[in-house]
A = this chain, B = another copy of it.
Amino acid sequence: MVEQQNKGIGKQALQLVLASSDELEELKSDMEQLTYQYCLGKTGSMDLQKVVSAIETAAKRNHIIKEKLYREMHALYHAILEAVQGVTRGQVQLGDVMRTVGLRFAVVRGKPYANEDEGEWVAVALYGTIGAPIRGLEHETAGLGINHI
């Protein structure tokens, strides 16, 4: 039977995007013990394409994902789209429906299951604000996508 480790890859990714700078230090040492790889970044836009692209680029540059291997890019892409659905809730659209986002993102890669055969998975977490393109007219938003690599 498949068993999950104490700290899931998704929880780890969510805590990274929610963390204050103090909490980040603590999380980083957690990650090393779990042998998870990860990267963190920020992106903000009315253009959804830029949000998807920013996360893909960060994951490639930080060698979380091999950019020449389609199966890895495919796994990441669907994890990103699933996380974006948590952020947009309903229409996977930003500027077209007159709204903008400011997001922190984390991409975490590792083996979250005790059974070695389950192999590697990727988690994408997003947290930030969504709202009208006017400062302050916004509320918080979050999303999590997980996929096998």
Contacts and interface: CB of A to CB of B under 8 A. Distances in A.
Interface string A53-86: 1001000000000001111011101100110111
Which 3 residue pairs of A and B lie closest in terms of their CB atoms, listed nearest first?
A: A86-B86, A10-B140, A2-B136
Contact of A11 (B56, B99, B127): B127
Interface string A82-106: 1011110111110111110000000
A140 B144 contact: yes
Interface residues of A, number: 68
B18 A14 contact: yes
Interface string A9-27: 1110011001000000000
Given A85-B85, A136-B2, A142 B92 contact: no
A96 B71 CA distance: 21
Contacts of A89: 82, 85-86, 145
B140 A8 contact: yes
Contacts of A136: 1-4, 70
A2 B137 contact: yes
Contact of A14 (B14, B77, B119): B14
Given A82-B89, A89-B86, A90-B85, A56 B98 contact: yes
A140 B130 CA distance: 23
